[in-house]
C-alpha cells in the first residue's frame, strides 16, 4: 500500500468521515466533561464565566478547532494538486472539516462565554 493511500492522507475516503467524527467526539467530551465537572466541583454562584471549568472547555474547543482547521487546510492543498477522484475526496473532505469546525465554533463559543453549571 502506498503512503498516499493511508487513512490519514488527504485524498483517502476516510477524510469524508473524519471531520464529523471529530466533531461528535468533541461534543460528547464537552458536555460529558461539563456534567462531570459540575457534579464534582461546581463553580460558585456569581463567579461568572471565568472559571477553571470554562478554561478547560475553551482549551478543548481551541484544540479541536486547530485540528479541524489544519485538516481542512491540508485537504485544500492536496485538492489543488490532485486529479480525478482524489481531488474530489480531498476537497470534499476539506469542506466537511470546515463545516465541522464551524459547528465547534457555533456550539463552543457560547459554552465558554456563559457561566458553567447553570
**Backbone dihedral angles phi then psi of residue 117, each to the nearest 5 degrees:** 60, 40
Contacts of 33 by beta carbon, 8 Å cutoff, 6+ apart: 56, 57, 60
Closest C-alpha to 95, from 33, 10, 37: 10
Q: What is the pLDDT of residues 65-101, one digit of tens each?
A: 999 999 999 999 999 887 888 899 999 999 999 999 9
Q: What is the pLDDT of residues 98-110, one digit of tens each?
A: 999 999 999 998 8
Distance between CA 68 and CA 107 in Å, rounded?
A: 15
Query: What is the reported pTM?
Result: 0.89
Amino acid at each position: 500500500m502506498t503512503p498516499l493511500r493511508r487513512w490519514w492522507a488527504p485524498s483517502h475516503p476516510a477524510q469524508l468521515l473524519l471531520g464529523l467524527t471529530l466533531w461528535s467526539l468533541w461534543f460528547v467530551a464537552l458536555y460529558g466533561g461539563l456534567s462531570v465537572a459540575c457534579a464534582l466541583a461546581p463553580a460558585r454562584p456569581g463567579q461568572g464565566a471565568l472559571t477553571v471549568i470554562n478554561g478547560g472547555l475553551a482549551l478543548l474547543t481551541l484544540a479541536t478547532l486547530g485540528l479541524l482547521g489544519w485538516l481542512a487546510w491540508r485537504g485544500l492543498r492536496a485538492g489543488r494538486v490532485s486529479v480525478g477522484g482524489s481531488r474530489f475526496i480531498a476537497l470534499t473532505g476539506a469542506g466537511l472539516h470546515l463545516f465541522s469546525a464551524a459547528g465547534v465554533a457555533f456550539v463552543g463559543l457560547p459554552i465558554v462565554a456563559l457561566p458553567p453549571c447553570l
